[in-house]
């Protein structure tokens, strides 16, 4: 059996509000993956990831992952404010070993 690794790196420009939602998702993912109690969930986040009918407020978010019990993007995130356009940010997502394209794409589609 061979090991395979998916690498990826890209950047895009979005609004400050969109970048804040992406950062919130990244933090919830890190909390859940590290088995920490997730922080508070913003109303904006719940609007784009509505709960799937159960008591877990993050169930709509974890549904974008192949394994909802292990919601990891497999990548790092960097958000930088634009100096030229004060209402925009540059979001960079990159990884060298376990890049998860499907949940990352779903996150960007919903946040942006």
Half-sphere exposure at residue 85, Cβ-oriented, CA atoms within 13 angstroms: 9
**In the sheet that 88-95 helps form, which strands lie side by side, from edge to edge?**
8-15, 88-95, 76-81
> pLDDT tens for residues 12-58?
999 999 999 999 999 999 999 998 988 899 999 999 999 887 678 89
Stated pTM of the model: 0.91
Question: What was the pLDDT predicted at 85?
Answer: 86
């Amino acid at each position: 059996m061979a090991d395979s690794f998916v690498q990826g790196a890209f950047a895009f420009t979005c609004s400050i509000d969109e970048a804040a939602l992406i950062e919130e998702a990244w933090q919830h993912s890190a909390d859940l993956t590290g088995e920490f109690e997730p922080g508070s969930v913003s109303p904006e986040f719940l609007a784009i990831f509505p709960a799937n009918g159960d008591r877990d407020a993050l169930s709509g978010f974890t549904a974008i992952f192949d394994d909802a019990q292990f919601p990891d993007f497999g990548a790092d995130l960097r958000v930088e404010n634009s100096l030229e356009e004060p209402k925009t940010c540059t979001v960079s997502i990159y990884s060298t070993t376990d890049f998860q394209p499907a949940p990352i794409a779903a996150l960007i589609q919903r946040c942006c």
